[in-house]
Amino acid sequence: MATEYLLTSEDFIKAHTNISDNLSGKYLQSAIHEAQEVVLRGIIGGCLLDHCKQLIAAGELEGDYKDLVDRCQYFLAWTVASDLGMRASYKITNFGLAKSNDENLSVATPDEIAANQGYYQAKADAQCYALQTWLLDNRALFPELRACDCNRMRANLTSAASCGIYLGGARGKEVRR
């Protein structure tokens, strides 16, 4: 199996969020991988993400690319935190769907988990907006950032990133910038 290169670490996420230090790495690593390879890939584009991972693998991450990866840290942290509530509360076992329980802790209700997820998702959305705005302003620094990625970013900046409802704006019309 090929080595996986992640743009963030368990240590950064635990240090900058309220995620417990004793949370299993199994949950955290899978959430980091999904945040990077699914969510971040959709935000900055696959070519740019893959190039950053190649630079990390070669130990050559510096300059503008290091700045980009640094700017991705909080987005990844908040995206991971948004995902972990559900991931850590419920497990699929041979028994079926199981809920964590302990005599000293009470398990959050599904509504509380959803509220927590929304809290972190709002933080991730704010970081996403800042990251994409910065990338568009500095696109000349990143030759891996394709025109179609920039067009997708521009479209994303006119609406909420994680909302499933269309919130307005020009629909069915070309918007010139």
Question: Where are the chain's structural domains?
Answer: 10-93+107-156
C-alpha separations of 64 from 15, 20, 67, 94, 110 in Å: 24, 32, 5, 48, 41
- Give the per-residue pLDDT at 35: 96
| Model confidence pLDDT, tens digit, residues 77-109 | 999 999 988 887 777 778 777 776 666 666 677
- Tell whether the model's pLDDT for residue 38 goes beyond 90: yes
C-alpha separations of 38 from 42, 60, 64 in Å: 6, 24, 23
pTM of the model: 0.80
DSSP element (H, E) containing 92? strand 90-93
3-state secondary structure at position 31: helix
Structure tokens at 48: 């740019």
| Model confidence pLDDT, tens digit, residues 107-155 | 677 888 888 888 888 899 889 889 988 988 998 899 888 777 777 777 7
- Give the per-residue pLDDT at 26: 87
Are 174 and 151 in contact by the 8 Å Cβ rule? The answer is no
Mean pLDDT over 31-53 rounds to 93
